[in-house]
Amino acid sequence: MLATGLIVFREVLEAALIISIVMAASRGVQGRGAWIGTGLLAGLFLSCVVAFFAGHLATAAAGVGQDLFNAIVLLSAVFLLGWHNVWMQQHGRELAREMRQLGLAVVSGSRPLYALATVVGLAVLREGSELVLFLYGVLSSGEGTGDLLLGGLMGLAVGISTGFALYLGLLRIPHHRLFAVTSGLILFLAAGLSAQAAASLVQADLIPSLGRAVWDTSSLLPEDSLFGRLLHILVGYVAQPDGIQILFYLITLSVIFIMMQVCRLNPSELKGKA
Amino acid sequence: MKRPFDLLPLLALAGFITASSAAAEPVSLELLIRDHHFIPEELTVPAGVKVKLTITNEDATPEEFESRSLKREKIIPGKRQVVLSIGPLDPGIHEFFGEFHEATAKGRLIVQ
With a cut of 50, say whether residue B58 has pLDDT above it. Answer: yes
Of residues A134, A203, A238, nearest to B62 (C-beta) = A134
Of all residues in chain B, the percent with pLDDT exceeding 70 is 79
Q: pLDDT tens digit string along B10-56?
A: 444 444 444 444 455 789 999 999 999 999 999 999 999 999 999 99
pLDDT at A118 over 70: yes
Q: CB within 8 A of A199, min separation 6: which ones?
A: A238, A242, A245, B71
Is the pLDDT reported for residue A215 higher than 50?
Answer: yes
Put simply, the answer to whether B68 touches A218 (Cβ < 8 Å) is yes
ipTM: 0.79
Closest partner residue to B68 (CB to CB) among A3, A130, A224 is A224
In A, residues 134-193, which contact B (CB 8 Å cutoff)?
A: 134, 136-138, 140-141
Are B76 and A223 in contact (CB < 8 Å)?
no
A253–chain B Cβ distance below 8 A for any pair: no
Q: Which CATH number fits domain B25-111: 2.40.50.200, 2.60.40.420, 1.20.1250.20, 3.20.20.190?
A: 2.60.40.420
Domain ranges of chain B: 25-111
Tell me what the pLDDT averaged over chain B comes to: 83
Q: Please state the pTM of the whole predicted model.
A: 0.86
B71 vs A240: CB contact, 8 Å cut-off? yes
Among B54, B76, B88, select the one facing A58 at the smallest CB separation: B76
Q: What's chain A's average pLDDT?
A: 88
Partner-chain contact A54 B62, CB within 8 Å:
yes
The per-residue pLDDT for range A61-116, each reduced to its tens digit, is: 888 999 999 999 999 999 999 999 998 888 776 766 666 666 554 555 556 788 99
